[in-house]
């Protein structure tokens, strides 16, 4: 697995619209190195999430950094391997989303406000969490990437950042 010099694939790359494969249990060291490099690239690019297809890997893994306001901690990093959206509420909220893979595109997307999710972390620990608000939105956006769905699929409300 090539971890040095990670970069985003071209916005027209077919991997961005291809469903990703489940990760079979592999070395947690490899996953730790990959997730660390992904978090670094995500922060460098000013994002809050990054999925493996965006860097050319067709595997079901993403990283996300959620806002947290607890003492001196301002964000919580999550490494999500083989993530699943287990359940969601029927109340949706519309918000504008952008994407590192499509930097000049913004889309107004309605998503469930509260969700229950499951995933494995980079040490193969299993997690279930209730997420809401921005954390739920980031998780759903990154999960879309793993299913080959870009924000432009929600094409009723697309507009350009550049005017």
> What is the spatial distance between Cα 49 and Cα 61, in angstroms, rounded to a whole number?
11
**Residue 10, pLDDT above cutoff 80:** yes
pLDDT of residue 25: 77
pLDDT in tens, 108-118: 999 999 999 99
Name the token pair of 128.
Answer: 């279930």
> What is the spatial distance between Cα 74 and Cα 114, in angstroms, rounded to a whole number?
21
First to last CA, the chain: 39
- Which of 5-9, 24-28, 52-56, 140-144 shows the lowest per-residue confidence on average (mean pLDDT)? 24-28
6, part of any domain: no
127, part of any domain: yes
Task: Please tell me the pTM assigned to this model.
Answer: 0.90
CB-based contact 86:140 (threshold 8 Å): no
Length of the chain counted residue by residue: 163
44, part of any domain: yes
Name the token pair of 87.
Answer: 């359940």
CA 53 to chain centre: 10
Tell me the pLDDT band of 156, cut-offs 50, 70 and 90. Answer: low
73/38: higher pLDDT: 38
The total number of structural domains in the chain stands at 1
pLDDT of residue 41: 96
14, part of any domain: no
Name the token pair of 22.
Answer: 């489940």
pLDDT in tens, 27-63: 778 899 999 999 999 999 999 999 999 999 999 999 9
CB-based contact 60:21 (threshold 8 Å): yes
**Residue 161, pLDDT above cutoff 80:** no
11, part of any domain: no
How much is the mean pLDDT over the chain?
A: 90
130, part of any domain: yes
Residues with a catalytic annotation lie at 142
> What is the spatial distance between Cα 38 and Cα 64, in angstroms, rounded to a whole number?
9
62, part of any domain: yes
3 state SS of 42:
helix
CA distances in angstroms from 43 to 23, 80, 98, 100, 131, listed in the order given: 24, 17, 15, 11, 22
2, part of any domain: no
CB-based contact 38:57 (threshold 8 Å): no
Range of the domain at 50: 25-160
Domain CATH code at residue 37:
3.90.45.10
**Residue 75, pLDDT above cutoff 80:** no
CB-based contact 6:41 (threshold 8 Å): yes
Tell me the pLDDT band of 151, cut-offs 50, 70 and 90. Answer: very high
């Amino acid at each position: 697995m090539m971890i040095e010099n990670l970069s985003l694939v071209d916005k027209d790359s077919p991997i961005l619209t291809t469903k990703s494969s489940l990760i079979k249990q592999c070395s947690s060291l490899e996953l730790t190195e990959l997730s660390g490099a992904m978090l670094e690239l995500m922060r460098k690019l000013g994002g809050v999430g990054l999925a493996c297809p965006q860097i050319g890997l067709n595997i079901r893994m993403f990283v996300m950094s959620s806002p947290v306001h607890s003492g001196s901690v301002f964000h919580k990093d999550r490494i999500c391997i083989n993530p699943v959206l287990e359940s969601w509420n029927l109340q949706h909220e519309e918000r504008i989303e952008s994407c590192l893979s499509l930097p000049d595109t913004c889309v107004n997307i309605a998503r469930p406000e509260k969700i229950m999710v499951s995933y494995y972390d980079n040490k193969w620990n299993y997690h279930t969490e209730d997420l809401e608000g921005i954390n739920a939105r980031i998780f759903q956006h990154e999960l879309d990437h793993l299913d080959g769905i870009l924000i432009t699929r929600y094409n009723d409300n697309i507009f350009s950042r550049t005017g």
